[in-house]
Amino acid sequence: MQSLKRIVVAPVVAVCMATTSCTLIPSSGPSAIKIASEAKAVDAPYILINVTQSVAAILESAGERPLSVAFGSARRGSSSRIGVGDVVTVSIWEASSDGLFASGTGRQGGTQIPEQPVSEKGTISVPYAGVIQAANRTPDEVKAAIENALKTMAIEPQVLVNVVKNISNTVTVTGEVASSGRIPLTLGGDKLLDVIATAGGPRVESHQLAVQITRGSRTETIPMERLISDPRENIYVQPGDVITLIRQPRSFTVFGAATANASVQFDESQLYLNQALAKVGGLNDERADAKGVFIYRSEPVELVRRIVPSAKPMRPDGTVNVIYQVDLKDPSGFFLLKSFKVSNRDLIYIANSSLAEVRKFSTLVSTTATPVVQGVAVMSNLNDLGQ
């Protein structure tokens, strides 16, 4: 019977020894120590940044770049200049009914030249006046040019130039608006919200939208709520701008030793880390390592270099994989929660404490060994009865 006990108990000992390896202990992710140690490697796939008030301030200022800085806030000098593709009409009157443009009605001569688009060369054609340069001129300047060309042939000619289809002085509004299309600009200048309103306004609630502005080769995107609440963002648009309203629900994901692991959508234009953690019930008191609150994010290398000057791009788009660490064992860490902004698609990971790992190890060993030990005891009792 003693040999049987040795045969049965031996596997239990082997299992207990095997479970001393951390890789066999169930875990929701890496420990805080593991994350910190791998960040020191020469070829580390991420940069670990301990969040301080100065780091939080840098990150907050990086997210507050107004469109007036990106594109400028100046109003366009004039939106009345004629451009290529614009459709114009020209009306001509003379002081006598016997002039070039006589109508045959016995009244002062006059006629209207049919609508015509401004050619690719920027010109229009006027009978007797010939080819007239129209592009990059105001209607008054084109009027003066036609009158000057006719003054030796017509009798005191008077000209009226009218733009009936304004193609060059427009912006394109598309996306989640009631009516997509080209919006002609007014002489006084139009701002972003003006042209969005002219297009019928957003089709969904503003907190679900981002506004993308493309001007030339440059594109900037801001939340719709920020455009509404910050007057600096409501800049003047320029001819040729493309304004797109994009439906972009924002969310973050929480894993690890939180009260709940979940993907959470949020409507706030500015969501801070304390609010994000509150949405999932905070840290799990029995499991969480308060020093190990990590935020995974990809950041532009220019921004990371303001914190870590030696940072280099890690992805083809020039971004860097960054893990931000917040230490809630430090009483001031809770102030950091109130100043650290959560971005769209952030991943928040809360590491397990070392005590939680020990507890899991003890539970695993106990769960594995107890049935075997109980079996040995039963067999021993049976053996005693047989004797």
DSSP conformational letter for 207: G
Structural domain count of the chain:
4
Q: Does any domain span residue 81?
A: no
Alpha-helical runs (H) found in the chain:
2-18, 32-39, 53-62, 67-70, 139-150, 192-198, 224-229, 273-279, 301-304, 333-337, 354-386
Residues 37 and 92 in one domain: no
**Pairing between strand 346-352 and 250-256?**
parallel
Asked if 71 and 192 sit in the same domain, the reply is yes
Residues 170-210 pLDDT 10s: 899 999 999 999 998 887 889 999 999 999 999 988 888 99
φ and ψ at 333, to 5 degrees?
-60, -30
Mean pLDDT calculated for residue range 29-45: 91
pLDDT, position 212:
94
Q: Given pLDDT bands bounded at 50, 70 and 90, which one contains residue 13?
A: very low
Please report which confidence band the pLDDT of residue 55 belongs to, taking 50, 70 and 90 as the band edges.
Answer: very high
In a shared domain, residues 195 and 72: yes
328 and 273, same structural domain? yes
Reported confidence tier of residue 384, pLDDT bands at 50, 70, 90: low
Residue 8: predicted pLDDT: 46
Q: In the structure encoding, which two tokens stand for residue 296, read together?
A: 């995974």
Answer yes or no: is 335 within a domain: yes
Same domain, 288 and 183: no
155 with 209, same domain: the answer is no
Range of the domain at 379: 2-23+357-386
Domain presence at residue 82:
no
Q: Tell me the residue length of the chain.
A: 387
Between CA 63 and CA 272 the distance in angstroms is 13
Residue 207 to residue 225: CA distance in whole angstroms:
6
Residue environment code for 345-375, b if the CB has 16+ CB neighbours within 10 A, otherwise e: ebebbbbbbeebbeebbeebbeeebeeeeee
pLDDT tens across 150-174, in order?
998 888 899 999 999 888 888 999 9
In this predicted model, what pLDDT tens digit does every residue of 206-258 receive, in sequence order?
A: 888 999 999 988 898 888 988 998 888 999 999 899 999 999 888 999 999 99
Asked, for residue 18, whether it belongs to a domain, the answer is yes
The two structure tokens encoding residue 318: 């020039």
- Distance (Å) of CA 226 to CA 56, 64, 261: 20, 10, 29
Helix, strand and coil in the chain, % to nearest 5? 30, 30, 40
Other beta carbons less than 10 A from residue 83's beta carbon: 20
Mean local confidence (pLDDT), 66-87:
77
pLDDT at 206: 87
Q: Which of 67-76, 286-295, 312-321, 364-373 has the lowest mean pLDDT?
A: 364-373
Are 160 and 176 part of one and the same domain? no
Tokens 């469109």 map to which residue? 67
pLDDT digits (tens, 9 = 90+) for 289-346: 999 999 999 999 999 999 999 999 999 988 999 999 999 999 888 999 999 999 989 9
What pLDDT is attached to residue 78?
55
Name, in order, each residue with C-beta under 8 angstroms of 191's C-beta and a sequence gap of 6 or more.
234, 235, 236, 237
Last residue of a domain, one of 231, 247, 263: 247
CB 341 within 8 A of CB 63: yes
The answer, yes or no, to whether residue 67 has pLDDT greater than 90, is: no
Do residue 72 and residue 58 come from a single domain? no
pTM above 0.85, yes or no: no
Split at pLDDT 50, 70, 90, the class of 96 is confident
- Amino acid, res. 261: N
pLDDT digits (tens, 9 = 90+) for 109-142: 578 899 999 999 999 999 999 999 999 999 999 9
Q: What is the mean pLDDT of residues 373-387?
A: 60
273 in any annotated domain: yes
179 and 38 share one domain: no
